[in-house]
Amino acid sequence: MDKHAGPTSHDIVRDVRRRMPRGTKVGHAGTLDPFATGLLVILSGRATRLADRISSRQKSYRAVIQLGQRSETGDPEGPITAGGPLPSAQDLDNAIAHIGQRTRQQVPAYSAVRVDGERLYQRVRRGETVALPERDMEISHCELVAASLDAGLVTLDITVSKGTYIRQIAVDLGEILGCGAYCAQLRRTAVGPLLVDNAIPVARVPYDEPIALTSLITDIPHYLIGDASADGIVHGRAIALDGPNGEGALISDHGQLIAIARIQDEMAFPTTVLFGPDDL
């Protein structure tokens, strides 16, 4: 889906579920903040079993960052206060290069991460002082796309690992520069191989050109298996399979993604099964 600014990711899931046949499972593979737009991967039916795998992939964004101001939430929701003097172009380039090398990130105070069993934002809104946890992260791409330093506006294209907060990158950039910053606009452009250019609006659900599940699993080898092997897999049994140790996608003769399997010593052990015995 191509999410617009305003609704939560859960709002989009709810809207999609209302348009699907009653009882259809619907979920998403990676939250977008309400102010953010762009690619929200919605999974329905048996595809929901791939949510963790898809959400773990790298994600790409275009972020518009406002320098010279600070936001308590790191985004336009604020409250927003004045920061310091705007930087030079050279200082900005140096700060972006520094940000791109970081491998750890402090979780934003206004986030849904749980600390001692409760969401961070709930504790912060009660006025509690909470030690913010840190997470590993990887920034594989960070490029300056445009800058209007007179207005304090900077546009970055960023590709990051799962769980990385772009609004925190904006805040950190502002602190490196000493002027403060927040993420004014954020658009997700890709999740792994899935691109926002191919996304659809909620109004087109149910979609008459569904994406084949096999196209969502491009990071591991694909293996064709016959009907007898497929029957064994959906019943939870291991099957003989000639392939190197590691993960594999098991594809039926009809082109259906039957399961994800762990392959060891020429045996395939199902780990995520998408079909039941009555579905084949």
User: What does the pLDDT look like over 147-206, one tens digit per residue?
Assistant: 999 999 999 999 999 989 999 999 999 999 999 999 999 999 999 989 999 998 888 888
- Is residue 2 annotated as part of the catalytic site, yes or no? no
Residue 105's nearest CA partner among 68, 149, 158 is 158
pLDDT at residue 156, rounded to an integer: 98
Query: Which regions of the chain does DSSP assign to beta strands (E)?
Result: 2-3, 26-28, 37-39, 42-44, 59-67, 69-71, 80-82, 104-106, 114-115, 118-119, 134-136, 139-148, 153-160, 181-191, 194-195, 222-225, 239-240, 246-252, 257-264, 267-273
Q: What is the pLDDT of residue 139?
A: 96
User: Tokens 């926002």 — which residue?
Assistant: 196
| Strand duo 118-119 + 26-28: pairing | unpaired
Neighbours of 95 (CB within 10 A): 22
- The pLDDT, as a whole number, for residue 32 is 93
Q: How far apart are CA 27 and CA 41, in angstroms?
A: 9
pTM of the model: 0.89
pLDDT tens-place string over residues 59-103: 999 999 999 999 999 999 989 999 999 999 999 999 999 999 999
Average pLDDT over residues 226-238: 92
Quote the crossing angle between the two packed helices 166-177 and 89-100, to the nearest 10°: 130
Query: So what's the pLDDT on residue 120?
Result: 77
CA atoms of 239 and 269, how far apart (whole Å)? 7
For residue 92, what pLDDT is reported?
Answer: 97
Residue 113 pLDDT > 80, yes or no?
no
- Which pLDDT does position 111 carry in this prediction? 76
CA 268 to CA 259: how far, in whole Å?
A: 10
In angstroms, rounded to a whole number, what is the distance separating the alpha carbons of residues 154 and 64?
6
Instruction: Show me where the domains of the chain are located.
Output: 58-191, 213-273
CA dist., res. 122 & res. 253, Å (int):
50
CA distance 88 to 189: 29
Measured between alpha carbons, how far is 104 from 211 in angstroms, rounded to an integer? 35
Cβ neighbours of residue 200 under 8 Å, at least 6 residues apart? 1, 2, 207
Strands 153-160 and 59-67, by their bridges, are: antiparallel
Whether 23 shows a pLDDT value over 80: the answer reads yes
Class level of CATH domain 213-273: mainly beta
Helix (H, G, I), strand (E, B) or coil at 25: coil
Q: Residues with Cβ < 8 Å from 219, sequence gap 6 or more?
A: 57, 192
Residue range 254-278: mean pLDDT, rounded? 91
We find that the CATH architecture of domain 58-191 is 2-Layer Sandwich (3.30)
Which of the residues 2, 11, 15, 33 is marked catalytic?
Answer: 33
- Whether the pLDDT of residue 255 is over 90: the answer is no
Model confidence at 280, in pLDDT bands (50, 70, 90)? low
CA distances from 234 to 34, 55, 120, 220, 257 (A): 39, 24, 40, 20, 11
